[in-house]
Amino acid sequence: MKIGILTFHQASNYGALLQGYALQQTLIKLGAESQFVQIDMKRSAPQAAPVLNPFAKRIQKAKEMRDELFNLFRSQYLDISKTYQKSDDINSDFDAFIAGSDQIWNLEIPEVDMRYFLPFAEPKKCYSYAASFGSVAVPEKAKEWIAKQLSQFAQISVREEQGRALVKELSGKEAEVCLDPTLLLERSDWQKLVKPYEGKPYLLLFLLQQDAALAEKALTEAARRGLELKVVTASFIPQFGFEAWNTVGVCDWLTLIAHAGCVYTNSFHGLVFSLLFGREVSLAPLGGNLGKRNGRLEELLSLLHISPEEIAPRPVHIEEAELDRSFAVRKNESLAYLEKIIGGVS
C-alpha cells in the first residue's frame, strides 16, 4: 500500500519541511509506504535572469545557499517520487493521497495551487491530514471552486478548529481536527536529528516576521542572563543591528533550538520545537496580514491551557510530562485518523 503526500516539501522553510518529514515518518511507523508527489507545475518557459545590483546579488546568493542546505536535507531524509507532469496519470501509481499538513489551502500563499486539492485522484483515494486555510475565511470568488474540490474527499482532517468550520461552511462535510505532524513523532525521534553542542550558553531569537519589540526583548533577556544572542530569520536582510543567520541548515536549526537556554520567536514551528525540546520559550503573535495565522498559535496554546498573554511577556517552561499529557488525547485521535486511512486502502 502506497500513499502519495502533497505538501510543501519543496519549500526552503523549516516548519514546512519538518512537518512533511514528520508525516512521512509517522506513516512509515504505521506500516505504510509513502512518497512526496513531485509535480512540475510550470506555466511558462523560464525567463532570462534579471540584471541584479550588488545588494540584490547578495540576497540571491544567500537564497541559493539556503536552498542548497534544504535540498541536502531532502536528499537525505525524504522519499520523493519521480517528477510528474500535470498531464501524467498520477492516480494509478498510488493507493491513496494525503493533502497536508501545513497551509496548503491558504490561497494567499503564492505556492498554493490546485495540486493540493488532489484533482488528479479518484475521490475514494482523496484524504487530507491537518490541512490549514491559514485564516478564518477564504476569498469570496474562490468559495464555489473550493467547495467543489472538498466535496470529492473521502475524509478531511484540518489542523485548526477554524478550518473545521470552514470545511463545514463550504462543503457541508465534517472534518476532524488533528495535530500538526511534528507533534506525532516522539521526542527521541527528533533528537536523532540534533547535533552535539559544546559552545557558550545562548539565547535563540527565531523570527518568521520582523518584530522590533520581540528583538528588543530578546536582547534584554540575553543581557540579563549573560547569554550570547543567536539569531535566525526567515529574511535574508540583516535586521535590528545584528547579524542574522539565514543560511542555517535544517538539522542545524533544530540543534540551535534544542540547546538554547531560552527561545524567543513568532513562529508556530519555532514554538512547537521549543516545547518538544523542553526549552523556555517566549512567543509573540504575528502582525499585519500574517496575523490571520495566529489562530494556529492560539489553538496550540489552548491545549496547554496557556493564553497568548501568558507566554508573550516572559519565557514559559513546560515540563515534558505535562506536555505529553496535554497532547495525549489529540495525538491518539490523530494517529487513529491516519490508521483509518491506511486500513481503508490496504
Element spanning 275, H or E:
helix 268-276
Q: Are 4 and 90 in contact (CB under 8 A)?
A: yes
**What is the reported pLDDT for 54?**
79
pLDDT-based confidence at 235, cuts 50/70/90?
A: confident
**What is the reported pLDDT for 130?**
97
Element spanning 69, H or E:
helix 54-77
User: For 299-334, how does the pLDDT look when each residue is reduced to its tens digit (9 = 90+)?
Assistant: 999 999 998 888 887 899 999 999 999 999 999 999
Percent of the chain at pLDDT > 70 equals 94
User: For 329-341, how does the pLDDT look when each residue is reduced to its tens digit (9 = 90+)?
Assistant: 999 999 999 999 9
Q: Kindly tell me if the per-residue pLDDT of 245 is higher than 70.
A: no
Distance CA 346, CA 277 (A): 35
Q: CATH 3.40.50: which residues of the chain? A: 2-41+76-185+329-345, 187-279+281-316
pTM above 0.75, yes or no: yes
**What is the reported pLDDT for 346?**
52
pLDDT-based confidence at 288, cuts 50/70/90?
A: confident
Q: Kindly tell me if the per-residue pLDDT of 161 is higher than 70.
A: yes
Distance CA 65, CA 57 (A): 12
**What is the reported pLDDT for 262?**
96
Element spanning 310, H or E:
helix 308-311
User: For 194-222, how does the pLDDT look when each residue is reduced to its tens digit (9 = 90+)?
Assistant: 999 999 999 999 998 888 899 999 999 99
pLDDT-based confidence at 243, cuts 50/70/90?
A: low
Distance CA 322, CA 302 (A): 14
User: For 45-84, how does the pLDDT look when each residue is reduced to its tens digit (9 = 90+)?
Assistant: 555 666 678 777 877 888 888 899 999 999 999 999 999 9
Distance CA 104, CA 158 (A): 10
Distance CA 66, CA 72 (A): 10
Query: Per CATH, which fold does 187-279+281-316 belong to?
Result: Rossmann fold (3.40.50)
CB atoms under 10 Å from CB of 149, counted, come to 20
Distance CA 249, CA 69 (A): 5
- Chain mean pLDDT for the chain: 91
Query: Per CATH, which fold does 2-41+76-185+329-345 belong to?
Result: Rossmann fold (3.40.50)
Q: Kindly tell me if the per-residue pLDDT of 98 is higher than 80.
A: yes
- Beta-carbon contacts of residue 155 (< 8 Å; ≥ 6 apart): 127, 128, 176, 337, 340, 341
Distance CA 78, CA 22 (A): 10
Percent of the chain at pLDDT > 90 equals 72
Cβ-count burial of 220 within 10 angstroms (0-12 exposed, 13-18 middle, 19+ buried)? exposed
**What is the reported pLDDT for 147?**
95
